[in-house]
Structure 1
Amino acid sequence: MFDWLQHFADWLIYTVFNVGQETHLGTALNFFVYDTLKILILLFFVVFIMGIVNAYFPCRTTKRLFEQKEALRFGVLFSSVFGAITPFCSCSSVPLFIGFVQGGIPLGVTFSFLITSPLVNEVAVAMFLGMFGIKATLIYAVSGIILGTIGGWLLGKFNLEPLLSDWVKKFLKIKCNMVNSKR
């Protein structure tokens, strides 16, 4: 999917800057350019999607949706699967987590994403597939999703919302009041 980006990083580092491909510096710079641009592109799309979600799914609707028990269970599982398929490390999962909390999504659902996102990722899946085969890879991926789902469900049962930072509570209150006044 990002082959074009790897070609760009190769061209930039090895041709434009004329850094040797066999050197440690060349390899490190190539990796830095490639990964930095890939993460920026992916974050752009995730932030864009979260902006759409925040604009079209107001707090009251989101909270009402997740107050139903079936929707909450499905939300925890969906969030865990979403965490597994997003190609992010924990460094970029935390801003998404904060966006979910600010969007009014219950903490159990957001924790489900936060647990699974760094646990099941494309690099680990590719390594498992190459080293252990499809069975072990499926066991790894499904176990990670189940762990994230159970972890999110358990953390959701602890009612942690009162422990949120004051600035998050204030933001949620302001956002929900703004949305309610527009409707």
Structure 2
Amino acid sequence: MLGMFNWINDQMLKMKWLFELVEKLVENVFGLSMESKIGGSVHFFIYDTIKIFILLSVLIFLISYIQSYFPPERTKKILGRIRGIKGNIIGALLGTITPFCSCSSIPIFIGFTSAGLPIGVTFSFLISSPMVDLASLMLLMSFFGGKIAIAYVVVGVVLAVIGGAIIQKLNMEKYIEDYVWSVESADVELDELTRKDRVDFSRNQVRDIVGRVWPYILIGVGIGATIHNWIPQHVIEKILGENNPFSVLIATLIGIPIYADIFGTIPIAEALVAKGVGIGTVLSFMMAVTTLSLPSMIMLSKVVKPKLLMTFITIVTIGIIIIGYGFNAFSYIFL
């Protein structure tokens, strides 16, 4: 059983066969040495790009097939019956089966709010949806292994639950823009989809999501290749290394202005880990990019008033920083 798991992990998730194939391409076709900076960069870019697109397409298809059983109308009905911390937990968990970036999650957030769902539940969904999903779990496993992948998803869900619960306790409904409450939420009957309908939906989701994220994946892989092969390790360690007590803070602040989803940040994270950056610092960077990106905060500012926006940013930022330092402190468990 263990041998079968290792084979699946090596050949299907980490795609060692692809690594070796691209290595032969770089050396035998391009005539570049894998030991050179150019050869290493070309290999990193080709291998990571193909690997991410293969995994992304397969995983989005499978997850979208599952998601077809939970359209927004059904999700509203599920969440509408649950109150308290249970509602935050369900909202966060439902966020994990929606492979959306932060900007894509905001229209659903509006729909949930206008349908009368508790504000804390909608914010738990808003935090978890871009930060953690099943596709990110599998991708993280392929790059960093099962321990880190599962831990990332768990702490992401916990942050979403706690963040939503705090916002609920603060009674901040009055800081949602008035027009959101007046958005009509139709209570439509849910048609039962056929298997073909679900397959078509899943295929369209792959086309739509890949079509939206491919530029960020290429940019992320390009940055990762540059960090991995061109920036000296001592420079990275000085800025983001474990000896710098402010590394988690710096990584979080660097991540906030960047707009990308987790699929574009993983190659950068991979390169940073290879350069000796602490796993907590890397995860803080990923969480900041996916949850607090500047474009998504601008969009959210059109939906909520400044006090609620700053409360949301403060809660999530503090949570990310605590998670980062926690992972760095106990990194020996995961590495």
- TM-score band by shorter chain is 0.5 to 0.7
- Deviation string for 1:71-101 (max 9, x for gaps)? x41x211211333333333444444333321
**Map 1:130-149 → 2, pairs under 5 A:** 130-149=302-321
- The 8 Å contact of residues 129 and 136 in structure 1, kept in 2 or not, is answered as no
1:117 is matched with 289
1:15 is matched with none
Q: Which amino acid aligns with 1:135?
A: K
Partner of residue 50 from structure 1, selected from 221, 224, 227: 224
SS in 1 for 2:328: helix
- Deviation string for 1:85-131 (max 9, x for gaps)? 33333444444333321232122211212333333346753553222
**Distance between the aligned counterparts of 1:146 and 1:36, measured in 2?**
31
- The 8 Å contact of residues 89 and 117 in structure 1, kept in 2 or not, is answered as yes
SS in 2 for 1:143: helix
**Distance between the aligned counterparts of 1:115 and 1:107, measured in 2?**
12
Indicate the structure with greater helix content: 1
2:301 is matched with 129
In the alignment, structure 2 segments of 5+ residues that lack a partner are 1-199
2:334 is matched with 163
Range with greater deviation from structure 2 (41-50 or 88-97): 88-97
**Distance between the aligned counterparts of 2:225 and 2:264, measured in 1?**
16
Assess, with a 3 A threshold, how the Cα gap between structure 1 residues 129 and 51 changes in structure 2: closer, same or farther: same
- The 8 Å contact of residues 89 and 118 in structure 1, kept in 2 or not, is answered as yes
Partner of residue 77 from structure 1, selected from 221, 230, 249: 249
SS in 1 for 2:302: helix
1:39 is matched with 213
**Distance between the aligned counterparts of 2:279 and 2:270, measured in 1?**
10
1:108 is matched with 280
**Distance between the aligned counterparts of 2:332 and 2:234, measured in 1?**
16
SS in 2 for 1:131: coil
Assess, with a 3 A threshold, how the Cα gap between structure 1 residues 63 and 131 changes in structure 2: closer, same or farther: closer
Q: Which amino acid aligns with 2:283?
A: F
1:151 matched to 2:323: yes
Offset of residue 33 of structure 1: 4.7
- The 8 Å contact of residues 237 and 275 in structure 2, kept in 1 or not, is answered as no
Aligned length: 134
- The 8 Å contact of residues 266 and 286 in structure 2, kept in 1 or not, is answered as yes
1:172 is matched with none
SS in 2 for 1:137: helix
Cα RMSD between the aligned structures? 3.2
**Distance between the aligned counterparts of 1:80 and 1:58, measured in 2?**
21
Assess, with a 3 A threshold, how the Cα gap between structure 1 residues 76 and 134 changes in structure 2: closer, same or farther: same
Assess, with a 3 A threshold, how the Cα gap between structure 1 residues 90 and 44 changes in structure 2: closer, same or farther: closer
Q: Which amino acid aligns with 1:59?
A: Q
Calculate percent identity across the aligned residue pairs.
Answer: 15
SS in 2 for 1:117: helix
Scaled by the length of structure 2, the TM-score of the pair is 0.34
Q: Which amino acid aligns with 1:50?
A: G
Q: Which amino acid aligns with 2:216?
A: L
**Distance between the aligned counterparts of 1:63 and 1:129, measured in 2?**
36
**Distance between the aligned counterparts of 2:238 and 2:299, measured in 1?**
41
1:86 matched to 2:258: yes
